[in-house]
Amino acid sequence: MKVLKFGGTSVGTVESLKNVKRIVEGCDEQVIVVVSALGGITDKLINTAQLASQGDISYLQNYEQIVERHNNVIQGIVPSEKQSDVHSITDPLLDELGNIYRGVALIKDLSTRTLDIIVSYGERISSVIISRVINDAIHLDSRDFIKTESQFNKHIADIELTESLIHTTFDNFNGKVVVVPGFISSDKKSGDITNLGRGGSDYTASIIAAALDASVLEIWTDVDGFMTADPRVISSAYVIDHLTFIEAMELCNFGAKVVYPPTIYPVFHKNIPILIKNTFNSEAPGTRICESTPGLEGKAIKGISSINDTCLITLTGFGMVGVIGINSRIFNALAHNGVSVFLVSQASSEHNTSFAVKNCDADIAVSVLKDEFAIELGTGEISGIEPERDLATVAIVGENMKHTPGIAGKLFNTLGRNGVNVIACAQGASETNISFVIKLDSLRKALNVIHDSFFLSQTQVLNLFIAGIGNVGRDLLEQIKGQQENLLKNKSLELKVVGIANSRNCIFNGDGLDINDFKSELEKSAIIATPEAIKNEILKMNIFNSVFVDCTASPDIAAIYADLLENNVNVVAANKIAASSKYDNYNKLKQIASKKGVKFLFETNVGAGLPIINTINNLINSGDKILKIEAVLSGTLNYIFNVISKDIHLSDAIKMAQKEGYSEPDPRIDLSGKDVIRKLVILARESGYIVEQSDVKRNLFIPQEYFEGTVDEFMQKISKLDAEFEAKRDKAQQENKHFRFVAQLVNGEVSVGLTEVSPGHPFYSLEGSNNVILITTERYKEYPMEIKGYGAGAEVTAAGVFADIINIANIR
């Protein structure tokens, strides 16, 4: 024999009831069917009662809707030959309900006892209807055998009496199907109608299954089973195949609403498995809950659940230290006043004790404890009893955690790196559950990052905010678009662009923007792309695994890095300004990133997509020391020096570099050596030297006065140098030498300047816009390490930015 429970939307419509009929009649053994009220009816019953008690005449309309809803279901699902029989039972019940509502409206009072009677009509009527839908089914009233007693103003099942009455009722039953109403019960002394509380139909089914030693308890609902997390918050949540009773209990107690928590206890003691199934997808395997799951292999964490209705109450005082019985007094006082505590956290010094309750219980809990500890509060032994509201409690659950060292460390490190502050935490010695309290506004981020980090998600997600969609930003978006499917399929990495800003407007969407079609939305956006607005929108989204990607050259955008890093947003910068700014600012950004456990990456600041900074970091981290760096770091200048000839003058070459997209928007940044100076300063700092831009010695090839004025004025004046520069070029050519603009770091001294190099020098044959860097270290003294390749261009720079983004995901 097995027990099947149907509730919620699975008994909400004619179509869903057809599924119930098919499922029950398809069983090949004796079945007890426990049903709840038609979907949504219980809330409607309560709401109507409240309206009536307030004298609001609209309760009559609500009541008529309740009657109509039941009559429509009867007409739609009950065979015509049985409809009169059903109406002979349900019509008087609905009439009784109407009379009660009118009485409540008349006296404008709604007692607990009256409300218990009102809500009972949902299950009483639905069970009659369903018993006439299923072939060969009989109907029994659970009030006759589910008995309760009152404890702390709540109806608690008297299990011993109830089990005895269940045996009396069912032991001699020889039919195939019995339908009983869930949820409702009666007081063992007075016989008054009571109920088992929210979700009580699950509990009814469990009590019956345990009493009759059923083979299985099947709970049919509108989801495929227990999910790894709330799918409304985490779109990648998926069904858990197996749970132990303990895991299921922990998940239920902390907010997972698939099963009413007390349901598990009765069947656990009889080792009767629970099967969670979907009435609307009966072929899905569902979730099986039993004493043990198949093997210990697999993920350490099975699921995450949360309670978003949390108040943390903390008792503090030196008078608590070493005093026996303090906790006993706290929890006895709360229990006697019906306050349920679902998390306790205490410092080992015993100086304070914190516990979590629902917000609705907070005021009474504080009042009760102030009464209990009035003497200690008066003497100062207890200094305060303080509630903190607007919190959430999160639990990660899995019996395999006890076999996996470091789970707690990884959990809190993951939360910290994403800026989620843990206010209180608790873990039992069984290591099945780690629970913690956080701010309510951090709940969504916390759930997502835990799900992502512990591989409960099938994919890892990076949420990208991209500022600047000029050449580099545009190419980056194209590269992301081209690689999204491959990264998702082969590396389980989902790149989600959640923010885009150009020089005018910006758009944001936490669910992701369509990078195939964002331009029109961007142009229409009402959000002006000021640095402050961009920063505020990013922080307001408070999204997990977030990465700010700066593809601008704006000092104002670079100025928001510190605030972003402080709020646990990773920063990837193609923009050189921050890393080459004052050393104190550079060092501050590095320190914030280290402290917050996020990344500040700027590989493309030097050499575009070449792995220069990463190589230097690897050398230093492995114990090497950078002694000397010689480099051609300007793809623009190298391109200019490579194309200059008798027929192509300096001014022509500069224009060609602009046209080919090698130069900065303002070519003077390259030609003045400013860009190379920035790059050299960055390399020196990454090599361990404290260097400012002002420390760099300059040997420039264009006089300073040429850089004054506008870009257009510069382009008009530069041709005046063509003849002079051609003479220098011709002389160098006759000596078989090439011009190179070289940056040098030698024992902490830095310089840049135009240099003539001879054949055989590594810089001599450098082609096009390529960069080359020679790194001399204590290990690479005789033969310096050489890195050479494209050092300019939007495509390779975008690729370098993309590589930094992938670096944040830590995939290989």
Phi, psi of 618 (to 5 degrees): -65, -40
Question: Do 725 and 650 touch, CB atoms closer than 8 A?
Answer: yes
pLDDT for position 215: 96
Q: In what order do the strands lie in the sheet with 600-601?
A: 506-508, 493-501, 460-467, 546-550, 570-573, 600-601
DSSP labels for 504-542? SBEEE-TT---TTS-HHHHHH--SB--HHHHHHHHHHHT
Residues 6+ apart with CB under 8 A from 535: 560, 563, 564
The pLDDT tens digits for 595-644 are 998 999 999 999 988 999 999 999 999 999 999 999 999 888 988 999 99
154-157/177-181 β-pairing: unpaired
Cα separation of 654 and 632, whole Å?
A: 17
Structure confidence by residue, pLDDT tens digits, 473-511: 999 999 999 999 999 999 989 999 999 999 999 999 998
> Cα(569)–Cα(561) distance, rounded to whole angstroms?
9
- Cα distances (Å, whole numbers) of residue 407 to 296, 394, 396, 410, 486: 16, 15, 10, 5, 30
Residue 134 to residue 273: CA distance in whole angstroms:
25
Average confidence score pLDDT of the chain: 92
What percentage of the chain has pLDDT greater than the value 70? 98
| Distance separating alpha carbons of residues 742 and 698, to the nearest angstrom | 10
- Look up residue 235 and give its two tokens: 């779109």
Q: Are 435 and 254 in contact (CB under 8 A)?
A: yes
Strands of 182-262, DSSP E: 184-187, 193-195, 217-221, 242-244
What integer pLDDT is reported at residue 105 of this predicted model? 96
Among candidate residues 2, 5, 445, 679, the one labeled active-site is 679
Contact predicate 240/226, CB 8 Å: yes
Q: Taking the complete model, does pTM exceed 0.75, yes or no?
A: no
- Structure confidence at residue 790 as a pLDDT band (50, 70, 90): confident
Does residue 230 surpass a pLDDT of 90? no
223: nearest Cα among 262, 288, 281: 281
Does the annotation count 655 as an active-site position? no
Q: Where is pLDDT greater, at 88 or 433?
A: 88
Orientation of helix 80-107 relative to helix 112-133, angle to 10° = 170
Q: What is the mean pLDDT of residues 181-200?
A: 93
